[in-house]
Amino acid sequence: MSATRATETFRAARDFLLEHREDYERAYAGFRWPRADHFNWALDWFDVIAENNDRTALHIVEEDGRRTEVSFAAMSERSDRAANWLKAQGVREGDRILVMLGNQVELWETALAAMKLRAVVIPATPLLGPADLRDRVERGRVRHVLVRDADTAKFDEVPGEYTRIAVGEEVAGWLPYAGVAEASVAFTPGRETDADEPLMLYFTSGTTASPKLVEHTHVSYPVGHLSTMYWIGLRPGDVHLNISSPGWAKHAWSNLFAPWTAEATVFIFNYTRFDAGRLMAEMDRSGITSFCAPPTVWRMLIQADLSQLKVPPREVVAAGEPLNPEVIETVRREWGVTIRDGFGQTETAVQ
């Protein structure tokens, strides 16, 4: 994919932040948000940096030790195939796709594919039940659902005329996502993407009232998370571990836009039960350079022997509710780095 004017404008803003990562005053005074009438992060950024790029974009380690590594070039190709296949199944620009997947390769390739098609993704956590899904399908005006095979039965109680796509084993009455592998890799975009077109629709957690819909455009998250990249301290070639569940906005912040804007590797460790020792062993084995976790994980980590981690990450951050000062001090004493506490909402980038 050839660089566009939007690519170069975005790159210049990113490179300015990388250059002045250690000089906040200079960064604050000199940074200007990139402006473009047309911008598609998957086409104008990801595909450009992915061309002939064999560095690892996504590295997933399963609890049983299985590893999956996908290069930037391969992820670009996979998302092209996914875009062509989804288009063949009737996905059109502006269509809303409810995506309910775990931390698996298909989650990232469909996110890029939907951007390329100018479809709108409604991310959903696999923890949702039929009642929540009915609400999301109805209020989100969902045209297509793309879910793990294990979750398809939940939709037996979700009425609506929507395309049903199952990832994994074949399910009766559902289109098998496995067909993506046979799709053409030659993807041709439609018209240019207007910067203010909708990109993602998130349902908030609904802590104090019913979940509300939050719309993000092809600018608000892809460009807005330049600030998240800067705050985390991500650099090209980093290996970034963010512990976050798919379906929540923080997953897009720190497992999609921020690391791949920095040309860093997204690292995932899938586990059913938290094991601090195993997590630190995987961090050492995979060379984690930046680490973000919610306060609950940090509190569990300090109950273990932090010296098990031989090479601590260069950058450590927390997001969610405020982190206890004693946790920050314990990590500083054991790892020699200071956890920086961030705040943000579904409606915003990091603040």
Please tell me the class of the 224-351 domain: alpha beta
Cα angle at 78 between 34 and 124, to 5 degrees?
Answer: 70
pLDDT attached to residue 272: 92
For 177, residues 6+ apart whose C-beta sits below 8 A from its C-beta are 106, 146, 165, 166, 167, 168
User: So where are the chain's domains?
Assistant: 224-351
Looking at the predicted structure, is the pLDDT value of residue 14 above 90?
yes
Residue 279 to residues 201, 275, 300, Cα–Cα distance (Å): 32, 6, 11
Task: Extract the tokens encoding 331.
Answer: 């990590």
CA distance 168 to 149: 5
Mean pLDDT of the 312-334 span: 95
pLDDT attached to residue 313: 98
Q: Are 60 and 68 in contact (CB under 8 A)?
A: yes
CA distance 85 to 165: 11
Task: Extract the tokens encoding 306.
Answer: 């932090």
pLDDT attached to residue 349: 87
pLDDT attached to residue 40: 97
Task: Extract the tokens encoding 340.
Answer: 């920086």
Q: pLDDT-based confidence at 204, cuts 50/70/90?
A: confident
In a 10 Å sphere around its CB, with 0-12 CB exposed, 13-18 middle and 19+ buried, how is residue 143 labelled? buried
Q: pLDDT-based confidence at 115, cuts 50/70/90?
A: very high
CA distance 18 to 230: 7
Cα angle at 218 between 214 and 223, to 5 degrees?
Answer: 100
User: In one letter, which amino acid is 52?
Assistant: N
CA distance 189 to 112: 12
Looking at the predicted structure, is the pLDDT value of residue 207 above 80?
no
DSSP for 101-159, please give it. --SSHHHHHHHHHHHHHT-EEEE--TT--HHHHHHHHHHTT-SEEEEEGGGGGGGGG--
Q: Are 264 and 290 in contact (CB under 8 A)?
A: yes
pLDDT attached to residue 311: 97
pTM of the model: 0.96
pLDDT tens across 223-278, in order?
999 999 999 999 999 999 999 999 999 999 999 999 999 999 999 999 999 999 99
User: In one letter, which amino acid is 101?
Assistant: L
Q: pLDDT-based confidence at 210, cuts 50/70/90?
A: confident
Cα-based torsion angle of the residue sequence 52, 254, 20, 196 in order, rounded to the nearest 10 degrees:
80
Q: Are 230 and 27 in contact (CB under 8 A)?
A: yes
Q: Are 89 and 64 in contact (CB under 8 A)?
A: no
Higher pLDDT, 208 or 201: 201
CB neighbour burial string for 264-290, b if at least 16 within 10 angstroms, e if fewer:
bbbbbbeeeeeebebbbebbeebebbb
pLDDT attached to residue 350: 87
CA distance 139 to 50: 36
Q: Are 62 and 102 in contact (CB under 8 A)?
A: no
